[in-house]
């Protein structure tokens, strides 16, 4: 179990609030199948600390029919993923940045430690993704997926290679559910600690969760400028890199 720490504000202006989300926090209250609903959510934290965000963004309806507030959150990170999370501060900002995410003018950069040694220095993964027929929590990059396959593209670059692992930079050009986890699993280099997609893969004692970090986000502002925000590697992620370098 990952010890929970509080989210940190990296940057704030009159349009955006940029958070560093710790691992272990849900993004929204709408909990996925199999996730403990008592896990802390960023929406709860935002509403407690920034109550005016209650009016920003449309409410979401859960499967049981209840509705929860969005609190300005513009995109999602999986519970075990740490890093950059953007929140709109006003309704016009929410509309603008939501459109930027939809039109893919926002650049996302992730860092991941994966199992095995990735041979190419860089490359593109262009495999459509659909829902698994066996497990509703999972997505698959396979023609055997249930329903419609949706286009998904991820660029990767090797940052460091170790004896049995690789440190990657990842740039998703689409935003499919679990896209990075699915693409790397299909590449036969699952993300270290991914119990959903690679439960049998070897683990390391230095990190007790998915070794995936939302490292940077570049967004276009309405005034025409583009701004880049970055979240430092969390302690468990850095400890794992140090361990691999010394091994």
Q: What is the pLDDT of residues 161-178, one digit of tens each?
A: 999 999 999 999 999 999
In the chain, what percentage of residues exceed pLDDT 70? Answer: 92
Q: Is 9 helix (H, G, I), strand (E, B) or coil?
A: strand
Nearest to 11 by CA among 21, 1, 2, 20: 20
Q: What is the pLDDT of residues 54-76, one digit of tens each?
A: 999 998 776 666 778 899 999 99
Residue with tokens 């609903």: 37
CB atoms inside a 10 Å sphere around CB 155: 15
Q: What is the pLDDT of residues 33-54, one digit of tens each?
A: 455 556 799 999 999 999 999 9
Active-site position among 20, 78, 194, 236: 78
Rounded-to-integer distance, Cα 76 and Cα 167, Å: 23
Looking at residue 146, its pLDDT comes to 75
8-246 is classed CATH 3.30.2350.10:
yes
Query: Is 78 annotated in the active site?
Result: yes
Looking at residue 163, its pLDDT comes to 97
Looking at residue 37, its pLDDT comes to 56
pTM of the shown model = 0.92
pLDDT tier at 158, thresholds 50, 70, 90: very high
Tell me whether residue 123 is exposed, middle or buried, using C-beta atoms within 10 angstroms of its C-beta: 0 to 12, 13 to 18, 19 or more. Answer: middle
Domain boundaries, the chain: 8-246
């Amino acid at each position: 179990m990952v010890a929970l720490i509080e989210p940190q504000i990296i940057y704030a202006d009159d349009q955006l609030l940029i958070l560093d989300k710790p691992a272990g926090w849900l993004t929204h209250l709408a909990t996925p199948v199999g996730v403990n609903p008592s896990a802390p959510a960023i929406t709860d934290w935002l509403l407690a600390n920034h109550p005016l965000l209650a009016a920003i963004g449309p409410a979401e309806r859960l499967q049981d029919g209840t509705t929860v507030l969005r609190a300005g959150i513009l995109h999602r990170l999986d519970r075990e993923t740490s890093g950059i999370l953007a929140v709109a501060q006003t309704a016009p900002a929410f509309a603008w940045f939501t459109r930027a995410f939809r039109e893919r003018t926002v650049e996302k950069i992730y860092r991941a430690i994966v199992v095995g040694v990735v041979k190419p220095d860089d490359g593109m993964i262009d495999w459509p993704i659909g829902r698994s027929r066996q497990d509703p929590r999972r997505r698959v990059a396979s023609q055997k997926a249930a329903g419609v396959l949706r286009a998904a593209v991820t660029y990767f670059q090797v940052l460091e290679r170790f004896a049995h692992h690789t440190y990657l930079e990842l740039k998703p050009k689409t935003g499919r559910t679990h896209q990075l986890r699915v693409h790397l699993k299909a590449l036969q280099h699952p993300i270290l600690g991914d119990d959903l997609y690679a439960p049998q893969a070897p683990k390391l004692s230095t990190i007790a969760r998915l070794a995936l970090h939302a490292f940077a986000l570049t967004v276009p502002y309405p005034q025409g400028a583009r701004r880049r925000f970055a979240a430092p590697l969390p302690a468990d992620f850095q400890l794992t890199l140090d361990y691999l370098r010394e091994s």
